[in-house]
Structure 1
Amino acid sequence: MSERADPAPLAAAPADPDAGVPFVRLRGVTMRFGGATALHALDWDVRPGEVHCLMGENGSGKSTTIKVLSGINQPDAGAVIEIDGQRIARLTPALSKSLGIQVIYQDLALFPNLSVAENIAFDQAVGAGLAAWGRRIRPAAQRETARRALQRLGVDLPLDTAVGTLPIASRQLVAIARGIAAQARLLFMDEPTASLTRSEVDALLDVVRRLKADGIAVVFVSHKLDEVIEIAERVTVLRDGHKLGTWPAHELDDRKLGTLMTGLEIAQQVRARDLSPRPPLLQVRGLHRAGEFAAIDLDIRPGEVVGLVGLLGAGRTELALSLFGMAPPDAGTVTLDGRTLDLRSPQAAIDAGIAYVSEDRLSIGLNMRQSVQDNLVLAVLPRLSGLLGWLPPARRAALAADWRERLRIKIPALDAPVQTLSGGNAQRVVLAKWLATEPRLLILDAPTVGVDVGNKQGIYEIVHTLAERGVAVLMISDEVPEVYFNCDRVLHMRGGRLCGSFVPGRDDEARIQEAVYA
């Protein structure tokens, strides 16, 4: 439930007079794009060796701030930018990097076909190539550069392995090491934990602490409030391009941060309902897939929201892929609405009334370069197309417009590429795409990864509305609070098996946390 917050301003903590000279200081930075103002007279600083968090919803000005400091965007006249005590008249990307500012974007901007060593030493290779055109960079030198950078982070990665074959957590370490090799003094990390499991997040936070001890400032741009409070010393909150203030992290909690970011009082309350009298819609018995999961027995009733939690490697996503026909099980049965299914392909699952929203919307859930309209109608084309497999443009546009309205997707036009949308709106497009298939069972795998607080609440409301209409929902999440406050039951998976069942309200949140992280 969301209510408009008390409009009284919240006072930011005064600056520490003994903090020393900031490494970065912005004063009066305004940034306009056409008639829109993305930043309003921003005053902000980052201290050497500080872990600082920059928070705000999509459109609050976080990305614009990063682009100003990385020299991509030039602010309006009158702005003051100081780096390491030096006033910069005009900051360019090359100058920004030479002064020690590095940005690790959410997509990491790595070369998947190049090795770990080549990616880490890339900036040095480019610099050397410009200084001595045609001179080949020695592999031994690249490897030594990469080895030293990884050593500073306290991690070990195979230097000759192609980056594209590594898991996302390892690729992120490569991106950080590349910044270290380029002599970074300030690292911006844009949504660094969006695609990581809790154990991978803990490992990343250890690396950040190591950077801090090495005197390198780190600015987190994140939507995950618990991680922010755990790692940051100060937190700056932006809303609609305005800085609301900067606070010591220990003075904030999830509720206060959520209120600051959204302007809404977001109250978390248990929603669990006892739906046991209803006959199951989904029945899974003895489901098994070698090396991934075994002996899975699972019931979900119409209108029930069941959460599934567990650590990396527990088998949660693998189970979801089997239920959606992408990785058929070796044994066991799946029954939906009394009918035993043969889930040998995603199309068979769709035809049976199952929809799956993947945790990896960038490569599985959406075609980022195609339009919103094309993505929205993709899953229903076989059903709506005529005999020749052609869907009239007017019908296609009407369907897409209908779902844009239903899910309140904020887009400039239906033909806008999905890659231009915010994380929250992209996730709504994924949901609309699958809801258009009119599923009986909706599987959500990490549905709010990379989504800000306000959009998270919107997605939860969509889930609850679907449940009220009788849709069964299986919600997979790395965040225990997410399932605790949004599910009727919570199942715990470990080592490919279901090993615990909890009811929010009857079982407290701490008990589930202890079971998962034991």
Structure 2
Amino acid sequence: MNITGVHKYFPGVHALSDVSLDLQRDEVHAVCGENGAGKSTLMKIIAGVYRPDDGLITLEGQPFVVHEPNEAYRKGIAIIYQESSLFPDMTVLENIFIGHEIRKPVLRGLRSPQMIDYRAMREKANAVFNRLGISVDLDRTVRTIGVATKQMIEIAKALSFDSRILILDEPTAALANREVDALFKTIRSLKSEGVSMLYISHRLDEIFEIADRVTVLRDGKHVATERVAATDRNQLVSWMVGRSLDNLYPKEDVEIGEVIFEAQSVSLRGVLEDISFNARRGEIVGISGLAGSGRTELALSLCGLVPPDSGTIKLNGKAVRIHSYREALEHGIAYVSEDRQVYGLVLPMTLKVNITHKAIRQITNLFSVINRGKEEQIAAEYMHRLAIKAPDSEFVVNKLSGGNQQKVSVAKSLAVEPEVLIVDEPTRGVDVGAKSELHRIISELAKSGKAIIMISSDLPEIIGMCDRTIVLKRGRKMGELLRNEMNQEQILHMAL
């Protein structure tokens, strides 16, 4: 496939400007760039979701024009999005063939009505999964299946169209390390069978492990295409952000104050068991552990979203009762969810509404009438403090890049002026430039005297940003490491 001089316009935005890219046979070609660089727009053009406003795309030397995704599928191109596109209450088999079921005539004859040929679909599905080297129960509903297997079902669905080109958009975002290894094994196998892949990822280490070439986009423009073996991480970062990024973890030296938050013997039946720790003013306390260790469940318990069965939470030395998130906010505890699109933001609404809706009591009078001036003032303040890139506070959140959406999610929690901020996977799914900015914001919040509890599966982030780290395993606290004791080996030793 060759893409030459492609342009794409949206109202007020030149999303792609003269972008060119080529994909060779049997190649894994990585595409990277900051959030808003144009990666997803380009992939959606290839997949038939959008049409280019200018430029030329050819496939096997012939002009490539598609008007909708099914047409792209029929031409051998499939896209696997970061968010699952599977129907949770349908079976694996139904998900794989939905929209392109294999059919057979009910009766012999040219005009016979058609019926679904379940035997042929099962045979083809089993052949695809054999090709992927895994076994999946075709009659199982997708809702009951883990994230890693869902990813393989997405790939199987794409291969059921006999796809020659796969577009993988952040395929490892929700996978654990072992699951990533299994996915890479599948990618290498498909590559050996002649399948070409476009691989979008913010995780630069993955690009160096799995890709043959890499193309960098910035602000909707092509910056560079290079063989992975001929470049390095620093060069990629420089191309992506337009400058060298010397300090990804800008942790400031802060004088740690008194204890303001304590969790004592927090337990949640079947999930958490007797967990105790504290956090001080100016301190960033990390919560680390493998998938399923109880990290997020602990956060939800501390902020009242899933109240614990037993245990005590103290603020400034006094025990407090927290049975709901509203009560947590009233006590000065705010939570930034790991899933900003589902739990963190109201995507179809404006920046102003998203930033201020947790702080609704601060902007309403005795008659529950919103003070529009105060609402605008708070929104403008946090847009400035967190450097949120948007034309104004009336901009709709779902039009923002992932990094800016994450900043809005943080701003929403800061608007209630908490003493304790719990951030769950604060930089998941954002580019390296936005990651550095979010780390700066977290560091500045700690410096201002807030206690930060940071949950992350990114060990370099934990080591680079935290003063102490609590390590969990199967819902239990396995130990605690000070900043000078932290390294990946020590954390993993405790977590495994």
TM-score, normalised via structure 1 length: 0.87
Quote the RMSD (CA, aligned, Å): 2.7
CA contact (8 A) 1:222 1:228 kept: yes
Per-residue deviation, residues 255-286 of structure 1 (Å, max 9, x unmatched): 3321220012212367375856x331111222
Q: Distance in 2 between matches of 1:175 and 1:315?
A: 27
Of the candidates 64, 73, 80, which is equivalent to residue 97 of structure 1? 73
Superimposed CA distance per residue, residues 22-54 of structure 1 (whole angstroms, 9 cap, x where no aligned partner) = xx1223334445775433433322122222210
| Gap regions ≥5 residues in structure 1 | 1-23
2:55 is the alignment partner of 1:55: no
- Maintained 8 Å contact 2:25/2:196: yes
- Amino acid corresponding to residue 482 of structure 1 in structure 2: E
The amino acid that maps onto 1:48 is R
285-294 or 312-321: bigger deviation: 285-294
Look up the match of 1:484: 463
Query: What is the percent sequence identity of the aligned residues?
Result: 37
Kept after mapping to 2: 8 A contact 1:229/1:252:
no
Q: What residue is the counterpart of 1:234 in the other structure?
A: 213
Q: Cα distance, 1:386 vs. partner?
A: 3.2
**Contact 2:259-2:281 at 8 Å conserved across structures:** yes
Q: CA deviation at 1:459?
A: 0.9
1:119 aligns with 2:95: yes
Q: Name which of structure 1's ranges 171-180 and 250-259 shifts more when overlaid on structure 2.
A: 250-259
CA contact (8 A) 1:314 1:496 kept: yes
Matched residues in 2 for 1:345 and 1:442: separation?
16
CA displacement, residues 296-328 of structure 1 (integer Å, 9 cap, x when unaligned): 121111010111211111111111111011122
Which consecutive unaligned segments of at least 5 residues does structure 2 have?
none
| Alignment partner, residue 46 of structure 1 | 23
Structure 2 residue 176 is matched with structure 1 residue 201: no
- Once residues 132 and 316 of structure 1 are traced to their aligned partners in structure 2, the CA distance between those partners, rounded to angstroms, is 60
Count of residue pairs the alignment pairs up: 490
Distance, in Å, in 2 between the alignment partners of 1:274 and 1:196 is 34
Give 2:62's aligned residue. 87
Tell me which stretches of 4 or more aligned residues in structure 1 moved more than 6 Å.
126-129, 131-134
- CA gap of 1:69–1:350, structure 2 versus 1, over 3 A, is same
Cα 1:470/1:26, change in 2 over 3 Å: same
Structure 2 counterparts to residues 454-473 of structure 1, below 5 A = 454-473=433-452
Hey, what's the Cα distance between the residues in 2 that align with 1:128 and 1:377? 57
Please tell me the residue identity of whatever aligns with 1:292.
Answer: V
Amino acid of the structure 2 residue aligned with 1:467: A
Deviation of the 1:98 alpha carbon: 2.0
Q: Does the CA contact (< 8 Å) of 1:51 and 1:233 recur in 2?
A: yes
Deviates more, 1:450-459 or 1:375-384: 375-384
Q: Which residue of 2 aligns with 1:390?
A: 369
> Quick one: which of 325, 345, 356 aligns to 1:346?
325
Letter of the structure 1 residue corresponding to residue 493 of structure 2: A
Aligned to 2:493: 515
Counterpart of 2:151 (choices 157, 172, 175) is 172
Q: For the Cα contact (< 8 Å) 1:53–1:222, is it kept in 2?
A: yes
Change (3 A) 1:348 1:46: same
2: CA distance, partners of 1:134 / 1:460: 61
Question: Residue 252 of structure 2 contacts residue 447 of structure 2 at CA under 8 Å; is this kept in 1?
Answer: no
One-letter amino acid matched to 1:509: N
* Distance in 1 separating the partners of 2:230 and 2:471: 33
CA displacement at 1:422 relative to structure 2: 1.2
Q: Is the 8 Å Cα contact of residues 472 and 495 (structure 2) preserved in structure 1?
A: no
Shift of 1:493: 1.4
Deviation by residue 1:427-452 (Cα, 9 ceiling, x = unmatched): 11111111011111111110111111
| 1:514 Cα deviation after fit | 4.4
Report if the CA contact (8 A) 2:304-2:323 is conserved: yes
Report what 2:292 is aligned to: 313
Give the corresponding residue for 1:107: 83
Q: CA deviation at 1:159?
A: 2.4
Distance 1:249 1:82 in 2: 24
Residue number in structure 2 paired with 1:494: 473
- CA distance in 1: counterparts of 2:13 and 2:311, whole angstroms: 57
